[in-house]
Structure 1
């Protein structure tokens, strides 16, 4: 069974002969059988963009696993102009902002701190968090 949450919807428009055209870009986080993946979908209609973003990737490099409820190690990474710091929390709650909180909450992380430094581009933050879970899975 596929469970998904829409992280971001972006609408762009351009004018051509015959009128204004719209294009939608959707980023979703999905879960299927304890495997998580973050996908993007683009289309001229919002419904088609959402359907494209729910397609399971063929490569397992794009997927990640999560079996923990906390962030065990300090992790710093950057992607483009975005930097993210993930570290363990002293209290029993998740302290994160924006897109980090949405992704970590969906994955099941209940304790930790996440700080965005630099730009808060949704695609870049999602890529960094995906890297974190890959590293955590390799060193478990």
Structure 2
């Protein structure tokens, strides 16, 4: 039996002679280095045009007849540090999918803000979103003084010199971030 297998292996190698690839035409060879015919495209990671920060991840529960169903809710801030920023939310059964949905939602809600030469805002702005109230002031120095999600919004916007304060008692990170974006829309 061992001899039979050897002969069949030799026959297989003789039956499949190597073909030379013609220039200008795609080869039908598949494997390492060979082109693909249809199917999925190879994964190529493209450089991201936006930086993102997750400001809140929550596991939420839905009660159904069979018990409890868990899913995740993610609040995300994206920005290019050149004057564009957006806040979005995403919900999914998996955290990575929820993060992707939140980033996609934030891209839809992008705003453009004209910054000064010193990477600050031109004048003082104030806004209220639901129970959250935020005030943002420009500073002379190069320091960003802000708390929680308002700081994330200003960092991803590209602001390096500003002073921000959350005037309400609200600890809702998403509403604070949206109040900051609403204030920045006034510029």
Which TM-score tier does this pair reach, normalised by the shorter chain?
Answer: 0.7 to 0.9
Q: Distance in 1 between matches of 2:179 and 2:62?
A: 31
User: Which one has a bigger Cα radius of gyration?
Assistant: 2
TM-score (norm 1): 0.80
TM-score (norm 2): 0.62
What aligned pairs does 1:93-108 form with structure 2 within 5 A after superposition? 93-108=143-158
Question: How many corresponding residue pairs?
Answer: 132
| Alignment-derived partner of residue 132 in structure 2 | 82
1:50-94 superposed Cα distances (whole Å, 9 cap, x missing partner): 11112232xxxx321134211221112211111111112243201
Shift of the alpha carbon at 1:31?
3.5
Q: 1:98 to 1:123 in 2, by over 3 A?
A: same
Q: Which runs of 5+ in 1 are unaligned?
A: none
Q: Which has the higher strand share?
A: 1
Q: Which runs of 5+ in 2 are unaligned?
A: 1-47
Q: Distance in 2 between matches of 1:31 and 1:73?
A: 21
Aligned-residue RMSD, C-alpha: 2.2
